[in-house]
Structure 1
């Protein structure tokens, strides 16, 4: 089977990067010319003795910013566990290295823009949840891998990877263009992986949970909703639960994703902005495109609609129900191979869940469905005795619940900026006071981030994934868009007016009527400016600058 190199040294000179593969018996060095950007393959004898050497864990790829090209490398990794004998790693630290030796060729404005772009790249890299494997394909489920041809297994990891889940696909374009360099390319997934050795009835088995976050229509909670023209759904995540026992392997796959039609929910300073369903686009075209691809990949779809049937969510629920009516339901089944390698069961459909954000409610339901499947799988494998239930085994029950709660938190941080809500139910099976308190705290943090920092996060993701490409010319970038005068003026007026109102109350005038008049004047000024701000809420939130709004609606 084709693999990528496992260990590397980065040798740096003023003119070139030499990335040496340090695997035993390998004499391969990737040379990147820092002036021409050319990539070539050579041997270890060509590494200059004067080069500055450091170990690295892998190459994320390359990216052009205002200052020129940058090399992004993984500098620290942590072992997550072993999947069918293959080590799975979590990328922990990264380094973004400029090809250019200085930025003196940039104007002051360009230099500032380059710093902003660099901070965007680091913002994505610092979002927890990047995983890779040098000799196993993490982008595919066990069933997809089992149903492939021998030729598929001879392809490089980069060629055979499911592009939906390769988060550094854009960064690896230069390496992808040269097949002889593919062993230096590590496809990296984003999401969550946990691998636990477990014991039930004295029988030891491996329990694994993998969530793969799609890089198509990726983004943050309020700026990316619904689907795009290709039928890709926002916040699409494929979650696979795997059990390995005495040579047998079994997996159960579920998906989650935004309601697959054209709708948006722009932040506007309100706690819950009103969702808006597009009236100008044919929803059925995109809806059909989405489910055509889902049926092709996963088989029959059992759609779980967790959207409220009242309040602001009701129109979305009705629109989804109308579009989904007439579609066939799937069935609950799973993929299983015995210790001899014979396939005993195929999963012929998936549960496809969604709520408003595909986070909190969705994760609770997915963990319950996965439990039902796991109960059947463990009984069929002989780990559970007939009549036994998973929840009777406290040690495994704790591992299971905590892993699914951790999965919820990982997916929520990546999309909404905070940990998930309702994880107390996932961990304990009931709502707790502490859980309600934490939900309130996370909701407050979500409100702040969604309104005042998610534009930057959305820009970061769009830059990282190649939805926005920095032009090679010296022209201005969209970062130079100036804020409207209201953005600074009105909040200052409101703050001054409110402060004066408090001062007038604390420092009473000569007469009661004089004090009342001052309080009413400054109070009215506070209320009027606050009302104007709320009525024009979208002008005061942190909106994305790199990708036009029209493309994201």
Structure 2
């Protein structure tokens, strides 16, 4: 349901005037479109001549070639209510220039500005931005329960977990002024939220799934792997499952993230590029930083590594296992489970082997629970940190199984499930549960890999289907195309949006002016011409079959040799990022 918008943006040639999000509040943020200065004023100072339009909030501001731009949320959709607080999904955005014209730009600058604008819109149109005006979506229930009164007094942006504030870079100008921050700076998370009212045994409860995608080392599938020097893992997502029933609230948290050492897997036109472990960096430094941070935030860690234990993935599994052993930390537990080998020939029942293997550990970690009197009766003492190569398809399947096992215990303790009853037998709830986890997989996969997730037929139905295999094949083809021919632009878009690349205020050239090597255009044209000539020779046979064969062999050889050269130099033909230097990203 599209809800009524309650903010307004008033625009004059000199200023933007933005009303505060609290209804009835008099505070108005005035932004000077020439000096970029931000000041607080009242509604009485908004000129009657101003053009007024409804908005839902400010995403932030960003500097591009043409100058500053204001990004606003223009449409939102109500997702549900979390502990009495409305949760919204940002549906539409607008990027508004401070400058009234771009006539001050040269033709090249104007073109570059359009490209940067396209990048910003590329991120904004990637589904999955959520916000709440009076509740902190960046923290789990357990973290919020263990905070001080001072923390509660802070603005949403000040107290937010910066790992999950996707518009943190865009809000820097507003954050510089505390009085402005409190009323206008709204933290926005990226990921997935499902909020479902459910019924079992006539008892109604709220079941919620929240996936928070980290903005540190964020990027697309092949261009961002492993970790950075600060220990941030690529594609890190914190997923929290929440149950609310008659004043009792419970939550179970899991994490996923790339294997936390220095490795890369750059696209090169091959279907599955070979992963490369860096030989020049000290892996243990970043590895130690990653897990020191994880242990501090989440407690004990059980690592579930789901990669293949043969072929190109084997060295990664061995390196991960070796580094966990090298850390010699009793708080870390490592389990390698070759997902594809164990579940080969559609033997998906084999996943129960892993669930049973970690059952004792899961019972030790338990979950977070507060009873109806407000007393904390359980704290989650550790998390399962799952990963496959992308932390998407295999990872999501395992996370949904572990989350269901935790939910079984929680619902029994709350009195929703009777003794001896199993969630799997509750057909109505199972359908809601499976579909939400499959939707979660699709949302995270689209944000990271550009297509929906694979293996979601198992998550939705509990079994692998031939239609599911066909859909996986289709999604794999789309992923191949995007990974090789459009992900450079997507990576640049994310780096610009998150502030990993900043547009220089000077009039100098930007990295967008880097020209492609001559091979990029010449060789594919030669291959196309040679292949076309080969077909023409087959269709228009010569006077003798030997003459036809000679022509076909010549043009066939020309196209095959050119194709081989292209594949050998594959990295020169893919769409590579331009804005952040390659060494930084590896």
Q: What range is the shorter-chain TM-score in? A: over 0.9
| Cα distance in 2 for residues equivalent to 1:391 and 1:329 | 37
| Cα distance in 2 for residues equivalent to 1:171 and 1:294 | 26
| Cα distance in 1 for residues equivalent to 2:21 and 2:136 | 21
| Cα distance in 2 for residues equivalent to 1:339 and 1:175 | 39
* Equivalent residues of 1:330, 1:349 under 8 A apart: no
| Cα distance in 2 for residues equivalent to 1:379 and 1:430 | 26
Q: Match of 1:322?
A: 322
Secondary structure (helix, strand or coil) at the match of 1:326 reads: helix
Q: Deviations over 1:282-310 (max 9, x none)?
A: 11111000000000000000000001100
* Equivalent residues of 2:324, 2:332 under 8 A apart: no
* Equivalent residues of 1:300, 1:328 under 8 A apart: no
* Equivalent residues of 2:195, 2:206 under 8 A apart: yes
Secondary structure (helix, strand or coil) at the match of 1:238 reads: strand
Q: Match of 2:340?
A: none
Secondary structure (helix, strand or coil) at the match of 1:446 reads: helix
Q: 1:332 to 1:423 in 2, by over 3 A?
A: farther
| Cα distance in 2 for residues equivalent to 1:202 and 1:326 | 52
* Equivalent residues of 2:487, 2:576 under 8 A apart: yes
Q: Shift of residue 331 of structure 1?
A: 9.7
Q: Shift of residue 24 of structure 1?
A: 3.5
* Equivalent residues of 1:266, 1:273 under 8 A apart: yes
| Cα distance in 2 for residues equivalent to 1:488 and 1:244 | 58
Q: Shift of residue 183 of structure 1?
A: 1.1
* Equivalent residues of 2:300, 2:332 under 8 A apart: no
* Equivalent residues of 2:303, 2:332 under 8 A apart: no
2:404 is the counterpart of 1:387: no
Secondary structure (helix, strand or coil) at the match of 2:130 reads: strand
Q: Deviations over 1:409-445 (max 9, x none)?
A: 0000000000000000000111101100000000000
Q: Shift of residue 25 of structure 1?
A: 3.2
Say which of 551, 556, 570 aligns to 1:523: 556
**Count of matched residue positions in the alignment of Structure 1 and Structure 2:** 546
Q: Match of 1:454?
A: 487
Q: Match of 1:545?
A: 578
Q: 1:330 to 1:390 in 2, by over 3 A?
A: farther
* Equivalent residues of 2:455, 2:468 under 8 A apart: yes
* Equivalent residues of 1:409, 1:418 under 8 A apart: yes
| Cα distance in 2 for residues equivalent to 1:23 and 1:262 | 46
* Equivalent residues of 1:256, 1:353 under 8 A apart: yes
2:32 is the counterpart of 1:33: yes
Q: 1:82 to 1:332 in 2, by over 3 A?
A: farther
Q: 1:24 to 1:482 in 2, by over 3 A?
A: closer
Q: Shift of residue 20 of structure 1?
A: 1.6
* Equivalent residues of 2:21, 2:183 under 8 A apart: no
Q: Shift of residue 326 of structure 1?
A: 6.0
Q: Deviations over 1:379-421 (max 9, x none)?
A: 0111001111001110000000000000000000000000000
Gap runs ≥5 in structure 2: 1-6, 334-366
- 5 Å-filtered alignment, 1:499-514, equals 499-514=532-547
| Cα distance in 1 for residues equivalent to 2:404 and 2:327 | 26
Q: Shift of residue 546 of structure 1?
A: 0.1
Q: 1:332 to 1:84 in 2, by over 3 A?
A: farther
Q: 1:332 to 1:404 in 2, by over 3 A?
A: farther
* Equivalent residues of 2:434, 2:460 under 8 A apart: yes
Q: Match of 1:5?
A: none
| Cα distance in 1 for residues equivalent to 2:142 and 2:23 | 32
Q: 1:366 to 1:22 in 2, by over 3 A?
A: closer
* Equivalent residues of 1:330, 1:348 under 8 A apart: no
* Equivalent residues of 1:302, 1:330 under 8 A apart: no
Q: Shift of residue 23 of structure 1?
A: 3.6
* Equivalent residues of 2:233, 2:257 under 8 A apart: yes
* Equivalent residues of 1:62, 1:70 under 8 A apart: yes
Q: Match of 2:235?
A: 235
Q: Which stretch has the larger CA shift, 328-337 or 364-373?
A: 328-337
Q: Shift of residue 63 of structure 1?
A: 0.1
| Cα distance in 2 for residues equivalent to 1:267 and 1:110 | 30
Q: Deviations over 1:491-547 (max 9, x none)?
A: 000000000000000000011111011000000000000000000000000000000
* Equivalent residues of 1:301, 1:330 under 8 A apart: no
Q: Shift of residue 328 of structure 1?
A: 7.5
* CA RMSD, Structure 1 to Structure 2 (Å): 1.3
* Equivalent residues of 2:288, 2:327 under 8 A apart: no
| Cα distance in 2 for residues equivalent to 1:25 and 1:372 | 46
Q: Which stretch has the larger CA shift, 310-319 or 459-468?
A: 310-319
Q: 1:332 to 1:326 in 2, by over 3 A?
A: closer
* Equivalent residues of 2:200, 2:416 under 8 A apart: yes
Q: Shift of residue 100 of structure 1?
A: 0.2
Q: Deviations over 1:182-217 (max 9, x none)?
A: 211110000000000000000000000000000000
* Equivalent residues of 1:422, 1:439 under 8 A apart: yes
Secondary structure (helix, strand or coil) at the match of 1:341 reads: coil
Q: Shift of residue 465 of structure 1?
A: 0.1
2:497 is the counterpart of 1:469: no
* Equivalent residues of 2:20, 2:183 under 8 A apart: no
Q: Shift of residue 120 of structure 1?
A: 0.1
Q: Deviations over 1:150-208 (max 9, x none)?
A: 11000000100000000000000011000001211110000000000000000000000
| Cα distance in 1 for residues equivalent to 2:209 and 2:332 | 18
Q: Match of 1:296?
A: 296
| Cα distance in 2 for residues equivalent to 1:382 and 1:225 | 44
| Cα distance in 1 for residues equivalent to 2:22 and 2:235 | 37
* Equivalent residues of 1:231, 1:286 under 8 A apart: yes
* Equivalent residues of 1:249, 1:336 under 8 A apart: yes
| Cα distance in 2 for residues equivalent to 1:362 and 1:392 | 24
* Equivalent residues of 1:301, 1:329 under 8 A apart: no
**Deviating 4+ runs (over 3 angstroms):** 22-25, 326-333
Q: Which stretch has the larger CA shift, 327-336 or 495-504?
A: 327-336
Q: Deviations over 1:109-137 (max 9, x none)?
A: 00000000000000000000000000000
* Equivalent residues of 2:139, 2:160 under 8 A apart: yes
Q: Match of 1:171?
A: 170
Secondary structure (helix, strand or coil) at the match of 1:81 reads: strand
Q: Deviations over 1:28-48 (max 9, x none)?
A: 100000000000000000000
| Cα distance in 2 for residues equivalent to 1:317 and 1:445 | 27
Q: Shift of residue 325 of structure 1?
A: 2.1
